[in-house]
């Protein structure tokens, strides 16, 4: 993963962080938030930074364990990809912290069989 990849993928993380910001801090001050809302905002801020790494881990794991699915036309066609392209960023954002913990265990593989 390089800087260009990180910046390219961080747009989705920033979008989800913006939704969290609007939900928590846009109309109220930090002191007015409940503990749950403060925790939500802190976690969404951390996930915003970790989102590109989580996306990278899912791509590498997907290509390693299920290469035929990722290279199949079903994922690349417009009809099925619409649902998949919405679901993938949400999964990455929700699971960013666990996926970053798993990242060192995903080994790079040059070619999938």
- Answer whether residue 110 is part of any domain: no
CA distance linking residue 24 with residue 76, whole number of Å? 36
| CB within 8 Å of 108: residues ≥ 6 apart | 60
- Answer whether residue 32 is part of any domain: yes
Q: What is the pLDDT of residue 31?
A: 83
Q: Between 51 and 64, name the one with better pLDDT.
A: 51
In total, how many domains does the chain have?
1
CA distance linking residue 82 with residue 88, whole number of Å? 10
Domain limits at 97?
A: 3-105
Instruction: Determine contact, residues 57/99, Cβ cutoff 8 Å.
Output: yes
Q: Between 106 and 44, name the one with better pLDDT.
A: 44
């Amino acid at each position: 993963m390089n800087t260009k990849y990180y910046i390219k993928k961080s747009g989705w993380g920033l979008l989800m962080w913006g939704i969290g910001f609007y939900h928590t801090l846009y109309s109220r001050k930090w002191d007015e938030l409940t503990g749950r809302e403060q925790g939500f905002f802190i976690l969404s801020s951390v996930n915003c930074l970790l989102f590109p790494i989580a996306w990278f881990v899912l791509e590498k794991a997907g290509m390693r364990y299920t290469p035929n699915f990722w290279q199949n036309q079903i994922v690349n066609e417009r009809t099925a990809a619409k649902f998949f392209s919405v679901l993938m960023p949400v999964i990455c954002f929700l699971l960013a912290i666990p996926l970053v913990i798993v990242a060192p265990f995903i080994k790079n593989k040059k070619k999938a069989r």
